[in-house]
Structure 1
């Protein structure tokens, strides 16, 4: 780190362990097959025992669920399927009593097409103030440009079939994602005003911050020029383009928005956090966490490095260097609701392409190998300085559901690509709490996505009293992370003579990740602080097995 001076240098989020709750799949209190706010409240003691500092709640708002809640119909309420505003207030209060912060998802690039603002825009007609809240464009006979939706197909939908109004002929609206998710027009000051009121509404209720969905996509290049990819993104070899470039990504104007939001949050104190979801290079990501903008950005390079030592090394060094310039912490992320779970990713060879999701007729992972590697990576990661995110079920070693029946899939990518891209449902299956209970204790109603029979092996109650379980490994190592204050430390690389064995010294602890297929011997070691496997100590040496993570002294 450089010696950049920031007024927020000691804030809680710089070293926090933040647990992502995907509400629909976390815990069902009323047995309707859907997770809910009361279910989260009921599991707060579990999260406190795990040792997390904050919960990030994926969208909890009223939504038609065209994209599992990321199509928001009302930004000022709670999805009735999940509960009430009063219950959400109770969640915030109960979490705070346990010294757990609450971060909520803000979805500012687009809303639901069922949101009143968009319905008013359709009714008001062309060139109206209501239409100017969204990205409507006139173009005769064809889409205004060649942009494609990230969920498949074109990024434009014709307005006339929706309104049956002749005046709407040749008018289109933009949706970078599903047609049910129209993009806001961030050139309109009223959009800014709307989201400032949103921020204050939830800050007044006591939330501690916001994770910003598609943070790099709000502002589009002036004139909306064609991009290099074209209207069918899934038909193009991803090696031929990058998701970080294009006329709708990372435009300079997004930073003005976050400076504006920072000023709003500062009214409530510098401890209120903004977290950027921005899939960019480390240098460009770092621009989002300058002192007058956001607090954190996700280090997706770490998530995407998989079981490749050189890529992991770069995913540590590059963000530390880039963020050090602006005095920001680095976040460490292994999984989330949009990617194949780490336990499954590590069960493949590093070159495996699973960007389209995994189905029952695809090559299946080595589940035992994947779990061993995931535990090793988790132990190593928990020793790194900065903040760490845990996706629900990661602490159970939960694998991706790679054999989910295709007829059960609900991801819009699966539907819009004509069943070519299986999408993200496999990481969103409701998690198991009790091995012998109906639906593994998630709830008694049929779950919105089916759970596989083998989920019982990973249930929290089975792991709770097993000292060797993944759950108790997380609990132990997170406790040590806090006691040793490793999150406040630094990275000093140690050369062990093999580039596939990562070794970092942090506050007197040697963090080791053996990414080879053989045991390695490390000299000048007297004790094991923590490890994901059995490390043998003798004669001042430690033998670290393959696919193992360990903290040594």
Structure 2
């Protein structure tokens, strides 16, 4: 598989002002464990990423977001960090990271690192010192509390609060060394840092500056809106049939979150020259909160990852999948487009390391429509107002993995849920496995499918997680050889964002909000109007928009021939026209 050595498309930094360069940019997420393995140990590594830089340059992306490569026990696949200033040997060395930065910069791309500072690993030296004694200088670096009054420490119900962990069970772990509990919103091996302590914040900012000095161009901040907790630590409401309470109102976008992020900006970014990117992953964030977080005048973060549209196919929980209603998807994304129209900025994504593959989720993974639904979904997403994110393999139309049994999974969230459901609640293992299959995180973590050779070209050894058996049909080598591939379509979408100001800077108007088949919207900017149409079904439908659009210029489509406004199964098309001068001053509906 060969690709051109350097990209030739115009970079957004050459077209946009320094303060909004990311409006024209596209970010590509690398989950290194599953990207490319250079040494045959079955685990992807930094040298594997370095070996694919020409591929990324050919795709045309502007920023590479690298999931954690720091030293870690890998309880949560690297999101449990034991040393923030070193590279885990599984991924390589600091020198490899330096080479990766240099290689990206030489190709006009930036590197964004994952910043995981809501919690550390329990094997981090900070936590080892914190748990050593109640008098430790770092005791207050984490959240330690005694047992609930009237309960024997370490017994059921003695936890300081009734909060439920994101990974099942209590958020509190009893530690026999000092007879107290520590808080962990996620795994028991991921104790939460206490951001109320200024020493913690200073240590985090020092680490961030260290990475920026090394050449890193910004950070994607993992669950960053959870760092401020209600210090009273009140119990959460308990839903019917549940053992634990919902503590999220007490640690989501907490009382000091804006203060902390503004301080971070002052201490890390304010005095630096250059174009950096800060992205806050924020579960549970509202539109109104996101405006405050991303308003440039407030100097907090450039954009947030929100999850509202990722919950639309959940029933009571993510393990109770429900069918997506297109009208609900349009209402959700349209609300975010409208809410951040005047201040702030959207991040646009279907996929990441925590989400199943979008072709299987919202599209059609059958051989007949897999490519068409992949490109339709890409086109609709990328032409919204915001910065698009491409997750590794998404540009190939990779699909969910047909896991055979629980032993094939690696994700701690899945394994904990399966154990709790089958052991604690006595559910049928087959039923639990079926509920896990559609939305589990391991769907996104199978190796990238580079070619039709052994292990999809990912490794010469035994991969750490199974390879999707459809790699002989879906792989990069086959798609790079075709102009009508999913990869070629993504490349064209990225190029259009670089070239057309209406895509990067135009306003947004949702059309057909009540149509359950067609996703339609317009963008307009300085006399140019863009119409985007996507058919979310496997049947032919009519787009009920202004008929005059049928004669407009098509700038991108996933069918080779045009049929006006009649859309075939999973068809996508984008049309552009000039706005009459008499209409330029007319008020426009947003959202």
Where does 1:255-274 land on structure 2 (aligned, <5 Å)?
255-263=258-266, 264-269=268-273, 271-274=275-278
Q: Partner of 2:286 in structure 1? A: 281
1:550 maps to 2:573: yes
Q: Which of these residues, 229, 235, 246, is aligned with residue 226 of structure 1?
A: 235
Q: Partner of 1:186 in structure 2? A: 195
Extract unaligned runs of 5+ from structure 2. Answer: 1-15, 153-157, 314-323, 422-431, 577-591
Q: Which of these residues, 97, 107, 111, is aligned with residue 98 of structure 1?
A: 107
**Relative to structure 1, is the Cα distance of residues 508 and 255 closer, same or farther in structure 2, using a 3 angstrom cutoff?**
same
Deviation readout 1:47-72 (Å, 9 max, x if unpaired)? 11111010000111010000000000
Q: Partner of 1:531 in structure 2? A: 557
Aligned residues of 2:374 and 2:486 also touching (Cα < 8 A) = no
Deviation readout 1:169-188 (Å, 9 max, x if unpaired)? 3x111100111101111111
**Relative to structure 1, is the Cα distance of residues 41 and 94 closer, same or farther in structure 2, using a 3 angstrom cutoff?**
same
Q: Partner of 2:536 in structure 1? A: 515
Q: Which deviates more from structure 2 when the two are superposed, residues 369-378 or residues 139-148?
A: 369-378
Where does 1:98-137 land on structure 2 (aligned, <5 Å)?
98-123=107-132, 125-137=133-145
Q: 1:295 Cα deviation (Å)?
A: 0.6
**Relative to structure 1, is the Cα distance of residues 551 and 68 closer, same or farther in structure 2, using a 3 angstrom cutoff?**
same
**Relative to structure 1, is the Cα distance of residues 496 and 118 closer, same or farther in structure 2, using a 3 angstrom cutoff?**
closer
**Relative to structure 1, is the Cα distance of residues 53 and 302 closer, same or farther in structure 2, using a 3 angstrom cutoff?**
farther
Where does 1:28-107 land on structure 2 (aligned, <5 Å)?
28-107=37-116
Q: Partner of 2:479 in structure 1? A: 463
- Measure, in 1, the Cα distance between the counterparts of 2:386 and 2:409: 36
**Relative to structure 1, is the Cα distance of residues 519 and 260 closer, same or farther in structure 2, using a 3 angstrom cutoff?**
same
- Measure, in 1, the Cα distance between the counterparts of 2:239 and 2:509: 44
1:203 maps to 2:229: no
Deviation readout 1:470-520 (Å, 9 max, x if unpaired)? 111111222223222312222134459946423222232211112353232
Q: 1:214 Cα deviation (Å)?
A: 0.7
Q: Which deviates more from structure 2 when the two are superposed, residues 382-391 or residues 72-81?
A: 382-391
Q: Partner of 1:360 in structure 2? A: none
Q: 1:265 Cα deviation (Å)?
A: 1.1
Deviation readout 1:233-272 (Å, 9 max, x if unpaired)? 7x78xxxx989x4211111211111101111212223622
Q: 1:452 Cα deviation (Å)?
A: 2.8
Q: Which of these residues, 281, 294, 297, is aligned with residue 301 of structure 2?
A: 294
Q: Which of these residues, 18, 22, 29, is aligned with residue 27 of structure 2?
A: 18
- Give the TM-score normalised by structure 2: 0.81
Deviation readout 1:403-425 (Å, 9 max, x if unpaired)? 25421322112332343474421
Aligned residues of 2:327 and 2:514 also touching (Cα < 8 A) = no
- Give the TM-score normalised by structure 1: 0.87
1:254 maps to 2:257: yes
**Relative to structure 1, is the Cα distance of residues 126 and 367 closer, same or farther in structure 2, using a 3 angstrom cutoff?**
farther
- Measure, in 2, the Cα distance between the counterparts of 1:187 and 1:20: 31
Q: 1:322 Cα deviation (Å)?
A: 2.3
Q: 1:128 Cα deviation (Å)?
A: 2.8
Deviation readout 1:114-154 (Å, 9 max, x if unpaired)? 1111111222x114322111111111421111011110111
- Measure, in 2, the Cα distance between the counterparts of 1:102 and 1:468: 29
Deviation readout 1:393-440 (Å, 9 max, x if unpaired)? 1001001113254213221123323434744212101111011x2211
**Relative to structure 1, is the Cα distance of residues 127 and 230 closer, same or farther in structure 2, using a 3 angstrom cutoff?**
farther
Aligned residues of 2:29 and 2:65 also touching (Cα < 8 A) = yes
| Secondary structure, counterpart of 1:211 in structure 2 | strand
**Relative to structure 1, is the Cα distance of residues 418 and 511 closer, same or farther in structure 2, using a 3 angstrom cutoff?**
closer
Q: 1:100 Cα deviation (Å)?
A: 0.6
**Relative to structure 1, is the Cα distance of residues 253 and 230 closer, same or farther in structure 2, using a 3 angstrom cutoff?**
farther
Q: 1:304 Cα deviation (Å)?
A: 4.3
Q: Which deviates more from structure 2 when the two are superposed, residues 13-22 or residues 223-232?
A: 223-232
Aligned residues of 2:327 and 2:513 also touching (Cα < 8 A) = no
Aligned residues of 1:518 and 1:545 also touching (Cα < 8 A) = yes
Q: 1:328 Cα deviation (Å)?
A: 1.6
- Measure, in 2, the Cα distance between the counterparts of 1:107 and 1:339: 18
Aligned residues of 1:404 and 1:450 also touching (Cα < 8 A) = no
- Measure, in 1, the Cα distance between the counterparts of 2:241 and 2:192: 18
Aligned residues of 1:439 and 1:447 also touching (Cα < 8 A) = yes
Aligned residues of 2:229 and 2:255 also touching (Cα < 8 A) = no
**Relative to structure 1, is the Cα distance of residues 127 and 490 closer, same or farther in structure 2, using a 3 angstrom cutoff?**
same
- Measure, in 1, the Cα distance between the counterparts of 2:402 and 2:249: 32
**Relative to structure 1, is the Cα distance of residues 177 and 493 closer, same or farther in structure 2, using a 3 angstrom cutoff?**
closer
Q: 1:10 Cα deviation (Å)?
A: 4.0
Q: Partner of 1:341 in structure 2? A: 357
Q: Which deviates more from structure 2 when the two are superposed, residues 271-280 or residues 402-411?
A: 402-411
Aligned residues of 1:323 and 1:330 also touching (Cα < 8 A) = yes
| Secondary structure, counterpart of 2:257 in structure 1 | helix
Q: Partner of 1:357 in structure 2? A: none
Q: Partner of 1:387 in structure 2? A: 387
Aligned residues of 1:303 and 1:335 also touching (Cα < 8 A) = no
| Secondary structure, counterpart of 1:400 in structure 2 | coil
Q: Partner of 2:459 in structure 1? A: 443
Deviation readout 1:336-383 (Å, 9 max, x if unpaired)? 1111111111248xxxxxxxxxxxxxxxx7575565333212112222
- Measure, in 2, the Cα distance between the counterparts of 1:499 and 1:428: 31
- Measure, in 2, the Cα distance between the counterparts of 1:202 and 1:321: 35
| Secondary structure, counterpart of 1:287 in structure 2 | helix
Aligned residues of 1:408 and 1:450 also touching (Cα < 8 A) = yes
Q: 1:231 Cα deviation (Å)?
A: 12
Taking only aligned residues, the RMSD between alpha carbons, in angstroms, comes to 2.5
Q: Which of these residues, 464, 475, 480, is aligned with residue 491 of structure 2?
A: 475
